[in-house]
Structures are given as structure tokens and as C-alpha cells.
Amino acid sequence: MPLRQLAAALLLLVAACSKSPPPGDDPRADPRDAARVALGAKVYTQHCASCHGAKLEGQPDWKRRLPNGRLPAPPHDDSGHTWHHADHVLLAIVKNGLVPPYATPGYESDMPAFRDKLSDEEIWAVLAYIKSHWSAEVRAMRTEMFGN
Ligand code: HEC
């Protein structure tokens, strides 16, 4: 992404976050809720693993752009940047894909929108599943970033 576009994307993100910031961690994506995590594991295998990897490892060389200029699927474990985002942002990205306010207008991405395929409950569950893989360090950093 050209630097100017990146800066614009970051500004949008900050603007979106500064409106009465909802907490980082939503109880509907609680990784300690075993039933939710189990549902999330099923959803993940069926809808996410083909791109983000069965072990959440992402696509090989995921930081390097593909020949078509798009980015490969990043990992969802500690090594990626999924954990930098608050839960409500992740919900929006999975529902709508990478569109404004979490991407610049016209941004091209291979991340599909799941709003017609998955219910909010299923998306919260898959986020709980993803979060259940994060280390204690990452969880502590989120607490520092988001305050919950
Ligand atoms: C067809 C491939 C594909 C499938 C299937 C897919 N994704 Fe993605 N996903 C991507 C790509 C590619 C990106 C990175 C896009 C970019 O940055 O332009 C991405 C990005 C994301 C991000 C943003 C990560 C970040 O650090 O900003 C989240 C969250 C995400 N995907 C969650 C999911 C979930 C949950 C599922 C299953 C319900 C899923 N994805 C299914 C390809 C896919």
C-alpha cells in the first residue's frame, strides 16, 4: 500500500476509534467460553482455514504482495496483527470485508464479506476461537491497549 494510502487508512482507524471507544474485548467473543469456542472451531474450519491456515498460520510469505497487488491472508495467531484490533472492529471486518471505515474506499482485498453466510453469533464464536489461541502476553497487551 502506498504510504499516503496507509496514512489515510490509519487516520480513518483513529477517527473510528475516538468516537466513544467501545471496549477491546467483547463478552460475546469470550475465549474462556468452551461452547462458543467449539462452535467457532467448526466455523473456522469450514470458512476460514482455507486461506488463514488450519493452525491460524496464514498464507506463506504473507507480508509480501501477490502479483495482483493484493495481500495474502495473514495469520490469526500471535505472529499476525489480528490481535491489534478490538473485537467490534474484527466483527465488522469479517461481516463486511476490508471496506471503510477499516480500509480506504476502493481498497482491493481477497478477504470475503461473510454477512450473508454467517450470523453475528457465528462470527463472535469464530473470534472467540481465534482469541483462544492468543498467548498471555498478547492478552496482557490488549488489556493495556484497550483497558479491559
Ligand atoms: C478467500 C480467502 C479468505 C478467506 C476464506 C477468509 N479470509 Fe480473512 N483475510 C483474507 C486476506 C487475503 C486478508 C488480508 C487482506 C488485506 O489486508 O488486504 C484477510 C484478512 C482478515 C482479517 C484482518 C486481519 C488484520 O490483521 O487486519 C480478519 C480479522 C480476517 N481476515 C478474518 C477471517 C475470518 C474470521 C474468516 C472466516 C470466517 C476469514 N477471514 C476467511 C483472506 C481470506
Give the number of other CB atoms < 10 A from CB of residue 16: 15
Q: Give the distance (Å) from ligand 1 centre to CA of residue 100.
A: 15
Q: Give the distance (Å) from ligand 1 centre to CA of residue 148.
A: 25
At 2-49, the pLDDT tens digits run 666 666 666 566 555 555 557 899 999 999 999 999 999 999 999 999
Q: Is 89 in the pocket of ligand 1 (CB under 6 A)?
A: no
Q: With bands split at pLDDT 50, 70 and 90, how would you rate the model's confidence at 1?
A: low
Amino acid at the residue 126: V
Longest dimension (CA), the chain: 43
**Under CATH, which architecture does the 3-19+28-146 domain have?**
Orthogonal Bundle (1.10)
Does the structure show a pLDDT above 90 at 138? yes
At 95-135, the pLDDT tens digits run 999 999 999 999 999 999 999 999 999 999 999 999 999 99
What pLDDT shows up at residue 71? 97
Contact 125, 36 (CB under 8 A): yes
Does the structure show a pLDDT above 60 at 85? yes
Grid cell in block for residue 73: 491472508
- Of residues 10 and 62, the one with the higher pLDDT is 62
Q: Is 131 in the pocket of ligand 1 (CB under 6 A)?
A: no
Contact 51, 73 (CB under 8 A): yes
